[in-house]
Structure 1
Amino acid sequence: MARTREFDTDAAVAAAMEAFRRTGFEGTSMRDLAEATGLGSGSIYAAFGSKEGLYLAALDLYRQQYAMPLTDLLRSTHGDAREVVRGVFVAAVDEIARDGRRRACLIVAAAMERARDDDRVAARLRSTTQALELALFDVIAEGQTRGQVPADRDASDLAGFLVTNLQGLRVMAAISPDRATLMRSAEVALTCLA
């Protein structure tokens, strides 16, 4: 008879997510994960199959907690398209500045460390990026119909450019999480909508 799992899987994934954010996939050992989650390695393997399985669960949780709220913010906020997009950039910069250098963006870290070698990671990152691009596209296209964004620019290209810059801010924050510096870069990126 199989044993019943006797731990909170969600809490274990959340703890592992923070461990991976601090030290990356390669820098986080099974011992580190056991310490972070309070579980033995056998329980981790039984629940997630492998370190990679736990990493994928942590990446999914990160996407749900950090990436999807940006997409939801874009979809739920109405008004001037430029101000809506600017609000997303400000929210991202504020979150980066609050965190400082303590924890990496798991999306950026996964892209740099795992996407090339793990198709499951790459697929999750593509899905996340596409959702954000589509939400930006919708805001920009609507802004173009309202005369808020120049109509002579391709909304899809603008959305892709803004996602690239948003992720670039996260990369630069690993070097210097200074809010003022990041906001200056964000403001330059946002001029594409003027």
Structure 2
Amino acid sequence: MFPWRPPVVAAAILLALLAGGYIAIDIFVTWQLEKPVIHTVNDPRDPITIWRSMKPLSHAEAVETGKCPIPLPREAARIQYVDFTVGYGGFSRCVRFEAPVDICREHAAAVLKAYNQRMETAHNDSHLAVHASPLNKGTAESVATLMRDQGEEVARASWFDTDAIVHGEMWGKHGGHTPLVLIDTDKQVFYYVIFD
């Protein structure tokens, strides 16, 4: 016969409780992950709401919302943006505005300098050159597709038409966690995107 001593019984009960707790947590987490995520738009009560302009905004309107993902030059007009947090660290942010080309260029340089400053402060070696490069049509098409066709319909930006740029330039880098600015030099339009 197996002698049941109080420490053995206590250990067996504790082990059963831990196993039961683990199973309950596993079931709950699986259930939570399988539930469809419902994203709200412009809801200050929701910590993962999608902040977006519902129409082109003036500079004053965009500043008043306080939700545009980047600072804007005073000359910016017809401003549109989407700031989408996917969860688990994923995000996408895009901004489009119209302004004279020299203002677009100055702002692209300012955006990249601010990024470099944040990376330096965080002791991150990531650094972007602050100058324009010739437009890469493949990159422009890829970014347009990403912003217009991403998974969540409420986060799509139909107005992010970088694939329509005929003459333009790029600033920054196309890739995760790095800002990319495209400037349409014919239509005088500034496009900003960053994602993970």
What is the TM-score when the length of structure 1 is the normalising length? Answer: 0.27
| Rg comparison, structure with higher value | 2
Structure with bigger strand share is 2
The structure with higher relative contact order (CA 8 Å, sep 6+) is 1
TM-score (normalised: structure 2): 0.27
